[in-house]
């Protein structure tokens, strides 16, 4: 177990984290589990992504590989994770599972998600709240961008179509994210029927995960990294839940994918400094106007300071991208026939064999 600072990423293996920056709450940073540590009957493989309100781990449970999400200590973090788990539970039980969202798993052995959507475990004197979901291959988009800051523009477009579609699904169910960033989704590149790989995403974090009615109660600015916080949310007293606010998060993510760095510099800066840059709209320069002007303009519209100038909602943003990039290519078709086809063939062979055997038996009986 080690301490990891949520602002500057400093790490201390001996739980004695210190930072010289006065704005940094390093000493109050949460403890992060390491390889081989246990939480109940769940064994940690590795931390995948450390967010401001929770940690995503790769883990094993009952000999199965899973993803484990654990809320940081604190009432607001606990309640956010519970809202997220209950939403995932609701769409599964209503048979509305979305391909871009996690598939929830029971938190304990011998239980079901309709009984328990999330679990609790005592660890080092803290009662931790967690939930588990099915493992899929992929890595955080943040890590992908660390290795390759500027993806192929088609990868950018297809990735953003999928992400906007996922956010639009949340809106259709009355849920707002308000924290979309490269930290909140996993990406894998999968073979398609074409000659190139296609990005597939999993939106593993649902941000603030609030409905409109409870926005003022559920909103905590610390959940969302300042560089991806919509300007209208900086004054939460006058902010009103609106799909266009999530368009800003989509736009900030797309902007970063295009220019190769965050729209607002935030590393080793205090939240106050970053908020000030957001309010003054001091973005890094959009340098893709020459080669992919139409795509750059979509991103520029999505990060407009005035919300009325942005795309109306995530669906509109997705349609703009689809008009330019076309539908996201489907997965590569297997050379093997489908399971249903195999079963039909096997059934046919067995039926023919039975008829032949029956005919032989009847012939012998007749003779």
> Mutual orientation of helices 314-325 and 243-259 as an angle, nearest 10°?
40
**How far is the CA of 249 from the CAs of 56, 163, 177, 184, 191, in angstroms?**
20, 11, 9, 11, 28
pLDDT of residue 18: 46
Q: Given this model, what pLDDT does residue 249 score?
A: 97
**Topology of 139-325 in CATH?**
Transferase(Phosphotransferase); domain 1 (1.10.510)
Which residue has tokens 């029971």? 106
Predicted local confidence at residue 354, as pLDDT: 79
What is the helix (H) or strand (E) element at residue 68, kind and residue range?
strand 64-71
pLDDT of res. 268: 81
Q: Do residues 53 and 184 touch, judged by C-beta distance below 8 A?
A: no
For residues 321 and 298, give the distance between their C-alpha atoms in angstroms, rounded to a whole number: 8
DSSP 145-189: HHH-SS--HHHHHHHHHHHHHHHHHHHHTT-B----STTSEEEEE
Would you state the pLDDT for residue 169?
98
DSSP 3-state of 56 = strand
d(CA 264, CA 280): 11
- Average pLDDT, consecutive stretches of 10 residues, N- to C-terminus, the chain (367 residues): 60 53 51 89 94 96 96 94 98 97 95 94 87 97 95 96 98 97 96 84 97 93 94 80 96 97 91 94 92 95 96 98 94 62 74 80 73
Unique residue bearing structure tokens 């590149």: 189
Residue 97 to residue 13: CA distance in whole angstroms: 39
Domain extent listing, the chain: 33-134, 139-325, 339-367
SS3 140: strand
**159, 150 in Cβ contact below 8 A?**
no
pLDDT for 28: 47
Contacts of 308 (CB under 8 A, 6+ apart): 244
> What is the reported pLDDT for 6?
62
Distance, in Å, from the CA atom of 270 to the CA atom of 23, rounded to the nearest integer, reads 6
pTM of the model: 0.84
Domain 33-134: CATH superfamily is Phosphorylase Kinase; domain 1 (3.30.200.20)
Residue 124: CB atoms within 10 Å = 8
Which residue's structure tokens are 């979509």? 298
């Amino acid at each position: 177990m080690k301490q990891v600072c949520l602002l500057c990423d400093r790490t201390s293996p001996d739980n004695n984290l210190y930072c010289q920056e006065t704005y940094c709450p390093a000493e109050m940073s949460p403890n992060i589990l390491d390889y081989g540590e246990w939480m109940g009957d769940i064994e940690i493989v590795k931390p995948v992504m450390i967010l401001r309100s929770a940690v995503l781990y790769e883990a094993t449970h009952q000999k199965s590989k899973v993803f484990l999400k654990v809320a940081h200590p604190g009432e607001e973090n606990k309640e956010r994770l519970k809202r997220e788990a209950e939403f995932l539970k609701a769409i599964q039980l209503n048979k509305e599972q979305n391909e871009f969202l996690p598939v929830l798993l029971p938190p304990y052995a011998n239980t079901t998600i309709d009984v328990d959507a999330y679990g609790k475990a005592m660890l080092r004197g803290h009662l931790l709240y967690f939930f588990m979901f099915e493992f899929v291959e992929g890595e955080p988009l943040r890590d992908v961008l660390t290795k390759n800051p500027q993806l192929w523009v088609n990868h950018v477009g297809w990735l953003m179509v999928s992400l906007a579609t996922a956010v639009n699904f949340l809106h259709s169910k009355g849920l707002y994210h308000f924290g979309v960033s490269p930290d909140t989704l996993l990406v894998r590149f999968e073979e398609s029927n074409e000659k190139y790989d296609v990005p597939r995403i999993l939106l593993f974090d649902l941000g603030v995960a609030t409905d409109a009615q409870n926005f003022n109660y559920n909103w905590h600015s610390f959940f969302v990294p300042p560089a991806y916080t919509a300007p209208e949310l900086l004054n939460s007293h006058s902010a009103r839940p609106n799909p266009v606010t999530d368009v800003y998060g989509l736009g900030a993510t797309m902007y970063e994918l295009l220019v190769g760095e965050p729209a607002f510099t935030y590393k080793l800066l205090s939240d106050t400094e970053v908020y000030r840059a957001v309010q003054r709209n001091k973005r890094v320069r959009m340098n893709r106007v020459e080669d992919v002007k139409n795509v750059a303009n979509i991103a520029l519209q999505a990060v407009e300071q005035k919300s009325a100038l942005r795309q109306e909602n995530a669906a509109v943003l997705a349609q703009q991208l689809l008009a330019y990039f076309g539908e996201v290519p489907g997965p590569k078709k297997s050379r093997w026939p489908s399971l249903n086809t195999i079963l039909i063939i096997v059934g046919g062979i067995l039926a023919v064999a039975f008829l032949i055997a029956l005919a032989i038996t009847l012939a012998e009986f007749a003779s």
